[in-house]
Amino acid sequence: LDNYPRHLLVGQPLTVQALASGQLPATAHLHMWQASKERQEQMVVAGQNTFRHTIASLREPVTFQAIAGSAASDVGTVEVVEAPAVGNFYIRYQYPDYTGLPATIQEGSGHVEALAGSEVRIQMGANKPIARGELVFDDNTRLPLLVRSDGLLQATAIITKPGGYRVEVQDALGFTNQDQLSYRIDVIPDAVPQIDLLAPAPDMELEEGRVIILEYEARDDFGVRELALVYRAGPFGEKRVVIDRV
Number of residues written out for the chain: 246
Q: For the purposes of burial, counting CB atoms within 10 Å of the CB of 143, is it exposed (0-12), middle (13-18) or buried (19 or more)?
A: middle
Give percent of the chain with pLDDT exceeding 90.
65
Kindly report, residue by residue over 216-242, the tens digit of the pLDDT. 788 877 777 788 888 777 777 888 888
Q: Identify the bridge partners of residue 194 per DSSP, sorted by sequence position.
A: 219
- Band of residue 125 on the pLDDT scale cut at 50, 70, 90: very high
CA distances from 193 to 78, 218, 226 (A): 65, 7, 11
Residue 1's pLDDT is: 84
Non-local (6+) Cβ contacts of 7 within 8 A are 78, 79, 80, 81, 173, 175
Could you tell me the pTM of the whole model?
A: 0.75
Q: Is the pLDDT of residue 162 over 90?
A: yes
Cα separation, 123 vs 88, whole angstroms: 8
Structure-model confidence comparison of residues 192 and 43, the more confident one:
43
Kindly report, residue by residue over 9-42, the tens digit of the pLDDT. 999 999 999 988 877 778 899 999 998 899 999 9
Could you write out the DSSP letters of every residue in 144-159?
EPEE-TTS-EEEEEE-
